[in-house]
Structure 1
Amino acid sequence: MNGDEQLLRGRVYGRDHDDPDPGPLPDRVYAALVGGPLDGLLLDITDWQPEEAEDGAALATELSRWPGGRALYDPDPGEPRIPGSGVTCRFHYSGDAP
């Protein structure tokens, strides 16, 4: 695991890496990002509608194939979403976009 990957583990996407507690917050809903440049991060989907979560996410990152591009993550339609707070589903890496 390289240094960038170590910085990402257990952190919520979009929270500042200098934040003293960049991890998940209670009573929030997260998708775990699996594979690709953001592997190990959690994506806060608390305020997403169900159809938004079904569409996945295109997340801005300097770690994609194109610096400043987006890493694409999609839910696995065969994986059920667990109701409640915490990590309720997983989004799997599907590629990069400029």
Structure 2
Amino acid sequence: MNSDDEQLLRGRIYGHDHDDPNPGPLPHHTYAALVGGPLDGLLLDITGWRPDEVDDGAALSTELGQFPGGRSLYDPRPGKPHTPGPGVSCRFYYSGDAP
């Protein structure tokens, strides 16, 4: 990934197209900030996730990881708080890639 790719990803929502006219966060939605790895800087919409789902993290499809078409794994850090409600409520940290 080059610096142009990184700039496209910053502050955007995972799963939205790069040319989406409104790629940013929506009011009344809850997000996890993705930290590290190929999706660094993106927000993951976790609106409606149960606390145990948030604790499990996410395996996110991406063409930018070690395995194109595979998944990048992001997990919350144990003991790090997540706040309920709209906005960025927690951080998911990169833990590796899977085919």
User: What TM-score do you get using the length of structure 2 for normalisation?
Assistant: 0.95
SS at match of 2:55: helix
Find the aligned partners of 1:23 and 1:17 in 2 and give their Cα distance: 11
Q: Secondary structure, in 3 states, of the residue corresponding to 2:85? A: coil
Q: Spell out, residue by residue over 1:16-67, the C-alpha distance to the aligned partner (whole angstroms, 9 max, x if none).
A: 1110110100000000000000000000000211111100000000000010
Q: Superposition pairs for residues 30-49 of structure 1, below 5 Å? A: 30-49=31-50
Unpaired runs of at least 5, structure 1 = none
Residues in 2 aligned to 1:78 and 1:12: alpha-carbon distance in whole angstroms? 25
Structure 1 window deviating more from structure 2 (78-87 vs 5-14): it is: 78-87
Aligned to 1:79: 80
1:53-68 equivalences in 2 (<5 Å): 53-68=54-69
5+ residue gaps, structure 2: none
- SS class of match (2:12): coil
- Tell me by how many angstroms 1:83 deviates: 2.3
TM-score (norm 1): 0.96
Counterpart CA distance in 2 for 1:83 and 1:56 is: 16
C-alpha separation between the residues in 2 aligned to 1:9 and 1:38?
Answer: 9
Any runs of at least 4 consecutive aligned residues in structure 1 with deviations exceeding 4 A, and if so which?
none
3-state SS in 2 of match to 1:32: strand
Structure-1 separation of matches of 2:31 and 2:46: 5
Alignment coverage as a number of residue pairs = 98
SS of 2:54's partner is helix
2:71 counterpart residue number:
70
Identity of aligned residues (%): 73
Q: Distance in 2 between matches of 1:40 and 1:30?
A: 12
